[in-house]
Amino acid sequence: MSSVNPVQVIAITGGKGGVGKTNVSINLSVSLAEMGRRVALLDADLGLANIDVLLGLRPNKNLEDVLSGECSLMDIMLNGPGGIRIIPASSGTQKMTMLGPMEHAGLIHAFSEISDQIDVLVIDTAAGISDSVVSFVRAAQEVLIVVCDEPSSITDAYALMKLLNKEHRVDRFRIVASMTRSTQEGRNLFNKLSQVSERFLDVTLQYVGNIPFDESVRKAIQRQRPVVQLFPRSKAGVAFRQLAEKVDLWPLPSTPRGHLEFFVERLVQGAVGKQ
């Protein structure tokens, strides 16, 4: 892979299910695209009421077909709203920790083909802390943790950060509070989480902001459209765009290599480490 195009890789995760990860992934991606970024959204949780269902897409091939050499990444990418490209990954990702050398090479080759065509790769992860979630998150350059005001969301987010920190030396997390009833609620959530994790783990947490609870999100889901497009002036729509503006200011790392290359290498290293 010889690309020098700096691709920013952002994993959206959170430990707990149903906290708003997929909605953040889709609306952040579409908002970044509206700002002129070329965005690919990797659906690492295909089929479980996620990106495919939320956007009414019907992928018939996924990353596994790419890994087996049957087709290229270009062949499986779907056109999403606002010009984003969707990479369906489900079954491939379950196997991500058990790849052989041929598949490693296939993965590196597959991503090298698209690295010149995208600026941002957003990864929507599944709930929980399975090997597949961890392998994607630890390989990403930015980790955005989605939390909501439920005790289990805080404890699950903490458990995820602990595992990533102790076993994979990830030490920097960005936090977004989802479905908040007030701006203060988001702040309080962040304070709670950062106090305990900065005390017991070797990590730094940064607060990115909150996405308010908004019925427009549910209405948009029913119509299989991103809320930022369907209701751009809704509270959630405005908040998602503000989130994208902040994300767009995150610094790109100063590695001389293309960052997508770095991501795939780490993904593969993680897989090797498991064998």
Ligand X SMILES: Nc1ncnc2c1ncn2[C@@H]1O[C@H](COP(=O)(O)OP(=O)(O)OP(=O)(O)O)[C@@H](O)[C@H]1O
- Rounded to a whole number of angstroms, the minimum distance from the CB of residue 268 to ligand X is 25
DSSP 4-57: ----EEEEEE-SSTTSSHHHHHHHHHHHHHHTT--EEEEETTTTSSSHHHHTT-
Instruction: Decide whether 149 or 214 has the Cβ nearer to ligand X.
Output: 214
Q: Is 20 in the site for ligand X (CB under 6 A)?
A: yes
Select from 52, 214, 226, 262 the one that contacts ligand X (CB under 6 A). 214
Q: Identify residues 141-180 at the interface with ligand X (CB under 6 A).
A: 178-179
Q: Is 210 in the site for ligand X (CB under 6 A)?
A: no
Select from 50, 93, 178, 180 the one that contacts Mg ion (CB under 5 A). 50
Angle between helices 131-139 and 259-274 (to 10 degrees): 150
11 neighbors 92 (Cβ within 8 angstroms): no
1 neighbors 133 (Cβ within 8 angstroms): no
| CA separation, residue 25 to residues 50, 84, 252 (Å) | 10, 11, 19
Find the part of the chain contacting ligand X (CB under 6 A) among 14-22, 75-83, 104-112, 167-175: 14-22
Select from 10, 11, 15, 21 the one that contacts ligand X (CB under 6 A). 21
Return the residue matching tokens 């509070």: 177
Find the part of the chain contacting Mg ion (CB under 5 A) among 4-12, 45-53, 142-150, 244-252: 45-53
Return the residue matching tokens 């996924």: 62
Strands of 142-147's sheet in order across? 78-79, 85-88, 39-43, 120-124, 8-13, 142-147, 172-180, 204-212
Instruction: Decide whether 23 or 165 has the Cβ nearer to ligand X.
Output: 23
Find the part of the chain contacting ligand X (CB under 6 A) among 2-10, 197-205, 211-219, 249-257: 211-219
Q: Is 238 in the site for ligand X (CB under 6 A)?
A: no
Neighbours of 74 (CB within 10 A): 12
Instruction: Decide whether 22 or 27 has the Cβ nearer to Mg ion.
Output: 22
Select from 7, 14, 21, 39 the one that contacts Mg ion (CB under 5 A). 21
Query: Site mask, ligand X, residues 39-68, x = CB under 6 A?
Result: ------x----x------------------
The torsion angles phi and psi of 178, rounded to 5 degrees, stand at -110, 150
Q: Nearest Cα to 174, choosing from 197, 200, 152, 199?
A: 197
Residues at the site binding Mg ion, with contacts judged by CB under 5 A: 21-22, 50
Q: Residue numbers of the site for ligand X (CB under 6 A)?
A: 17-23, 45, 50, 127, 178-179, 211, 213-214, 217-218, 221, 236
